[in-house]
Chains A and B, each alone.
Chain A
Amino acid sequence: MRDMTTDIGDGIIRVALVGAPNCGKTSLFNALTGANQRVGNYSGVTVERKVGMAQTPAGRTLRITDLPGTYSLRARSPDEVVTREIILGTRADAEPIDLLMVVVDATHLRPGLRLARELRDCGLPLLIVVNMIDIARHRGIEIDLDLLSQEIDLPVVASTAVRRAGMQDLWSRLDTLATAGLPPRVASGWAPPTAADLRAALREADRVIALSVRTPERRRSLSEWIDGVLLHPVAGPIILLLIMFAMFQAVFAGAAPLMDAISALIEGVSATISAVLPEGLLRGFLVDGVIAGVGSVVVFLPQIIILFAFILILEDLGYMARAAFLMDRIMGHAGLHGRAFIPLLSSFACAIPGIMSARVIDDEKDRLTTILIAPLMTCSARIPVYTLLIGAFVPARSIGPGIGLQGLVMFGLFAAGVISALLVAFVSRMLFRRHEIAAPLMLDLPDYKVPQARGVLLGLWQRARAFLRRAGTIIFMASVAVWVLSTFPYAPAEATEPAINYSFAAMIGHLLHPLLAPIGFSWEICVALVPGMAAREVAVAGLSTVYAVSGGEGALGTALATHWSLATGVSLIVWYIFAPQCLSTLAVIRRETGSARWMWIAVGYMFGLAYAASFLAYHLVQSLGG
């Protein structure tokens, strides 16, 4: 044990929140820390590390860590390993904890009390927080807190995280505990509980609940009534489909005005710079390099925020677990877990948060499969590429009331992403895991709750910031690199072709060309693909540089349609369904799987698929006369 005393000298009390999934732990964390929190990662694993500061009414400073939800310290997923290591004080990159707050759902005390029993052995002082007491009272559940505390021999306090008044008891209890002085941590006597230990702990929890809780005659709760509709065998899948449809409508149609506004802003900035700075290297660097590159990515912020707003609200509502329930069978055919639905859905915004949320899958192999197929989902970075190419090669014809051909092709590309992801999972299962039995699915379906605006806004803010940080670093550097490659060396004075044709980028393009010619790519496309490795959407900026077109996407589309055959256009669209052209995704796969091997497997299989599919598409369209 590293620290045997609670006083490290700075007077800050280090508190960790622990609890079973869906116990309201995160909203309690938000209530305690307000917006005063930082989200990062634990070193070596992409488990979200949430730490916040809080001030008690008596002026004491608390440093609060929100630990990943867990049923037991036995730890079955990377998340739960972090929880165990922090509680047992064996994690090197985390401070020792002075007080463990065990958050228990007042409407459903059982799992929390069982966990609390297990945590008694870990050597830390415990405080049981019976959260969501308002909902319990509303349902007529009466909890005798004093008797509960006496029976389990631990301090107990009730709270309502979503209301300020509901936090008073907890605050004053924290002050009382701090004034009395927290007992120092003692050596942990925790050992993985056996089935008999767990049984005894659950029986003990049931005994305490029978003594101290009075539950009214059970009637059909609102959640059960809602589930009757949302989990109905016919209505359930239809409603899920409608929700997803509404989500994509909002992402694509709803974000458009905001995206136009951001585009206009970016154009304004670059016009101002052009007006102020003289023609030359600095202006070229700022306008064509930095603003064009970073701007082309920042434009997607509205789409990402809308998609995450949907995901966070559905998650808070408790609907995501229902979606996993409805989709489990279909996912199961592909050898996936019902829980893989959430990471794959997030991947429609961006594969990075999708891959990171795969950590909710406790089975290691299922988790790996999910991580490897997540980049196939149509992320928002593909949208500008698809939009450009569809605009150039698919006629804007109406094929039915309210259904345009271009929109239909876009939908088809999304479907192609989903179907290919499920097929890859299915084939890999058939090839490598044929005789394996599926990992168990055990998923708590929590009661429905009204999402808290504060929690949703905080989550959105954290994700938007992460996205902008990525735009500010990786995409910034890639944009600068593209600009350098396509600017130097300068064209000779007597040059007749666009200057880029004499640059490093052109040399690389010519080098790659023999490899990609069989799938119909011109050397100009090869040039644009080089920067496009950094992030898919950068290829659009790359193409406009290579073809020396300015004046927005419309003009570029027209230029492409005249330079390329239909077969080439289709081939490039198909390439983008599969190709792993996103360095940040690859970096996250590497970090998340803990080895470069899986990253290279992803690179290999995705490029392989892209090449094969583009080859087929190119020759098929050509033979049809394209």
Chain B
Amino acid sequence: MELRQIDATDRSLSLGEARRGYRGRVVCILPIAGNGRLAPSEMERRLIEMGFIEGVEVSVIHEGPFGRDPIAVRVGEATVAMRRRDAMAILTE
């Protein structure tokens, strides 16, 4: 499992770096300790609760007016506003 995830990170783009108009599919949810206030396991659970799960299609539909942050992400039938820093945990391809 671990190996497959690391393998996936090589050719994937973190949602935190995606620009408006980007469309992709979630490869894995991989919060890194120290990148956010929450523990990675808690961050992972919150992302899943908002609908982010491996295989789901996502697209960046809006960027914030100042510094292109936060972003509005379409996931399924929902639109979720999130900061780029937090979106870094979502790897897509």
Contacts and interface: CB of A to CB of B under 8 A. Distances in A.
A224 B62 CA distance: 10
Interface string A199-240: 100110010000000000000000110010001011011000
B8 interface: no
Interface string A64-91: 0000000110101000000000000000
Contacts of B19: none
Contacts of B46: 76, 440, 442
Interface residues of A, number: 45
A74 B48 CA distance: 13
Nearest to A230: B62
Contacts of A114: 49
A108 to B, nearest CB: 4
B19 to A, nearest CB: 12
A105 to B, nearest CB: 9
B37 interface: yes
Interface in B52-92: 53-54, 61-70, 72, 76-83, 85-86
Nearest to A118: B49
A524 interface: no
Given A233-B65, A442-B82, A325 B50 contact: no
A588 interface: no
Contact of A227 (B69, B72, B82, B85): B72
A439 interface: yes
A325 B51 contact: no
Contact of A203 (B50, B53, B79, B85): B53
A330 interface: yes
Interface residues of B, number: 39
A195 B45 contact: yes
A338 B78 CA distance: 19
A115 to B, nearest CB: 9
Interface string A314-349: 000000010011101110100000100000000000
A436 B35 CA distance: 10
B5 interface: no
B35 A437 contact: yes
B93 interface: no
A198 interface: yes
Given A363-B37, A440-B36, A328 B49 contact: no
Interface in B11-66: 29, 34-38, 41, 43-51, 53-54, 61-66
B62 A328 contact: no
B51 A111 contact: yes
Nearest to A72: B49
A620 interface: no
B93 to A, nearest CB: 19
A110 interface: yes
B45 A443 contact: no
Interface centre among B35, B41, B72 (most CB of A within 10 A): B72
Nearest to B44: A195
Given A193-B45, A202-B51, A442-B46, A237 B65 contact: yes
B36 A325 contact: no
A203 B86 CA distance: 23
Given A195-B45, A199-B48, A363-B37, A329 B80 contact: no
Interface string A354-396: 0000000001000000000000000000000000000000000
Given A328-B83, A363-B37, A198 B45 contact: yes
Contacts of A363: 37
A236 B63 CA distance: 11
Contacts of A338: 70, 81
Q: Which of B29, B38, B49, B67 has the most CB of A within 10 A?
A: B49
Nearest to B48: A198
Q: Which residue, of B37, B51, B81, has the highest number of chain A Cβ atoms within 10 A? A: B81
A215 to B, nearest CB: 8
A321 B82 CA distance: 12
A107 interface: yes
A438 B37 contact: yes
A71 B52 CA distance: 13
Contacts of A321: 81
A336 B57 CA distance: 30
B48 A195 contact: yes
Nearest to B66: A329
Interface in A270-312: none
Contact of A198 (B49, B69, B72, B81): B49
Contact of B81 (A76, A108, A437, A442): A442
27 contacts: A74-B45, A110-B76, A110-B77, A111-B49, A111-B78, A198-B49, A199-B48, A202-B51, A231-B72, A233-B65, A321-B81, A329-B64, A329-B66, A329-B69, A330-B66, A332-B83, A363-B37, A438-B36, A438-B83, A438-B85, A439-B36, A440-B38, A440-B82, A440-B85, A442-B80, A443-B81, A445-B79
Interface of A: 71-72, 74, 76, 107-108, 110-111, 114, 193-195, 198-199, 202-203, 206, 223-224, 227, 231, 233-234, 236-237, 321, 324-326, 328-330, 332, 338, 363, 436-445
Given A442-B47, A445-B72, 19 more contacts: A72-B45, A108-B76, A110-B78, A111-B78, A199-B53, A202-B53, A203-B53, A227-B61, A236-B65, A325-B62, A329-B66, A438-B85, A439-B38, A440-B36, A440-B82, A442-B46, A442-B80, A444-B80, A445-B80
Closest A-B pairs by Cβ, 8 of them: A329-B66, A445-B79, A440-B86, A443-B81, A108-B77, A198-B48, A71-B49, A233-B65
